[in-house]
Amino acid sequence: MVNNTLNKKGLFITFEGPDGSGKTTIIKELYKNLNKRFKNKVVLTREPGGNKNIIAESIRNILLNTDSKISYRAEALLFAASRAQHIDDFIVPSLKKEKIILCDRFVHSSYVYQGIGRKLGIDNIKKINEFAMSNVKPDLTIFLMINPIDALNRIKKDKNREINRLDKEKVNLHKQVYQGYLKLIKSEKKNKIFVVDANKSVDEITDEILKFLNKKFFNN
């Protein structure tokens, strides 16, 4: 029997992976499952932007618009600015209400896309995000691991997906981002990043994540 009790007050879980790894699909499945067990306690959000926040979503539109011409430094700062607004307006208030937050991307994306992919340096990206995040960090990051070429092929086959500015970047950037993720996984504490094979079926991935969450957070 599953115990529907959290080990702590509020929970902040982020999801990372290459574009096309299936994060959004998996998050929706987890939401359905967890919402049945924790009524009105589970909330969805995303980055850049965040749960219909006007300011953060406006920045998202600038960042992902295929017509936007943004310098790399400005891009990094815009991501951090959107994150700061997202944290203040949604994440912190949700944690105070003891919500379970499922967030599609967070600061790890900035580390690998801007720090490594744009060659701005992870240390520089960490500095601006330390200020933006104001000590708010995920309790757990779930990484969906898949070869970036396979992930991009998924995007091409998905007729319903809206293609954004980052999706249209050269393949080399996506390869660099993937290698950046692998470096981060090695450097982070094992209990902070849970790696899942994104080549598995949606049901298999969802079940694997739920088992891990049950053991780590839900007194199961």
Residue pair 50/94 in contact (Cβ under 8 Å)? The answer is no
pLDDT tens track for 129-142: 999 999 999 999 99
Q: Which band of pLDDT confidence, cut at 50, 70 and 90, is reported for residue 114? A: very high
Rounded to 10 degrees, what is the CA torsion of 11, 196, 85, 64? -160
- Say what the pLDDT of residue 205 is: 97
Helix (H) or strand (E) holding 148: helix 148-157
Global pTM? 0.88
Once rounded to an integer, what is the mean pLDDT over residues 140-154? 90
Q: Report the alpha-carbon distance of residue 40 to residue 44 in Å, rounded.
A: 11
pLDDT tens per residue, range 69-102: 889 999 999 999 999 999 999 999 999 999 999 9
Grade residue 122 by pLDDT with cuts at 50, 70 and 90.
Answer: very high
Q: How confident is the model at residue 167 (pLDDT cuts 50, 70, 90)?
A: low
Quote the pLDDT of residue 174: 83
Q: Are 113 and 101 in contact (CB under 8 A)?
A: no
Report the share of the chain in percent with pLDDT over 70: 87
Q: Which residues contact 66 (CB under 8 A, 6 or more apart)?
A: 163, 164, 165, 168
Q: With bands split at pLDDT 50, 70 and 90, how would you rate the model's confidence at 168?
A: low
